[in-house]
Amino acid sequence: MSKKRIDIYLLIFLFLFLFTVDYSFLDSLVVKFLESDEEAFVSRIVDGDTIIGNNESIRLLGINTPERKEKYYSEAKEFLEKEILNKTVQLKFGKERKDLYNRTLAYIFLNGENVNLGVVENGFGNYYFPAGKDVYYDNFQEAWNECLKKNINLCEKSKDICSSCVELKNFDYKNEIVVFGNKCDFSCDLTNWEIKDEGRKKFIFLKFVLNGNKEITIKVGNETGKENVLFWKNENYVWTRTGDTLFLRDEEGKLVLWKSY
């Protein structure tokens, strides 16, 4: 038999094979071979963004939830308990596998759903990407926007009369400067209002009134005594260069405004 005829027979065989093979089976084998994800049995919920799975601490990627004694701390923890406690979940990893505390960093999936997204969409945490934006970043922004539409929990809009007066005039994150203005003719008492980044850094206005049609500048540093300037003390920096979000909340913790970059 000539080589040409053998080649033809081989092509025919390959053609028939491709039509009869179970593609879904082959795909699953390829995915399993290439997939670096792991499974974990969730035995404990530490708080709204940390769990114990396979006897190790796992920090949920893409989110930051309230600390103990902060509003919605318990609700965030209870949400995870309801969703994943005593269940086997899939872990998907990001750019870094461990954090400074040697906790595993992962997105938690259950039945194909990203549980971390649910925390944000239900207003139990904000999105948080200190290592830089990844492939899930847009999904978390969408989840936050859905939360804002629902107007629930951490996304609930402030009803303070001054929430419509105070505006962000300048957000110079490179130089660690934030400027707010009061566009109304009357004064606004901002005592106990707070500025927060995506993480744990927080500035609280202490006994401060922003007069009508005036501005206030907040800078990172330990200086004092400058007119119309307040200082975010005991911090070397606040705003992460790879991307961050400013949240301004009123005395009751309700959202006044937010700005991402």
Q: Is it true that domain 38-154 has CATH number 2.40.50.90?
A: yes
Tell me the average pLDDT of the chain: 90
pLDDT for the residue numbered 37: 84
Chain segment 207-261, per-residue pLDDT in tens: 999 999 999 999 999 988 788 999 999 999 999 999 999 999 999 999 999 999 9
Chain segment 44-93, per-residue pLDDT in tens: 999 999 999 999 999 999 999 999 999 999 999 999 999 999 999 999 99
CATH 2.40.50.90 domain locations along the chain: 38-154
pLDDT for the residue numbered 17: 52
| Contacts with 43 (C-beta within 8 Å, 6 or more apart), sequence order | 52, 53, 55, 86
- Report residue 15 CA to chain centroid gap: 48
CATH 2.60.40.1260 domain locations along the chain: 158-260
**CA atoms lying within 13 Å on the CB side of residue 44:** 7
User: Looking at domain 158-260, which CATH architecture does it have?
Assistant: Sandwich (2.60)
pLDDT for the residue numbered 181: 98
The mean pLDDT value for 187-203 works out to: 98
Q: Identify the band that residue 118 occupies on the pLDDT scale cut at 50, 70 and 90.
A: very high
User: Token pair for residue 46?
Assistant: 């530490």
Task: Please report which residue ranges of 91-241 form alpha helices under DSSP H.
Answer: 115-121, 137-150
| Contacts with 191 (C-beta within 8 Å, 6 or more apart), sequence order | 205, 206, 207, 208, 209, 251
Chain segment 24-45, per-residue pLDDT in tens: 444 443 334 334 689 999 999 9
| Cα–Cα distance, 35 to 49 (Å, whole number) | 24
What are the catalytic residues?
Answer: 59, 67, 103
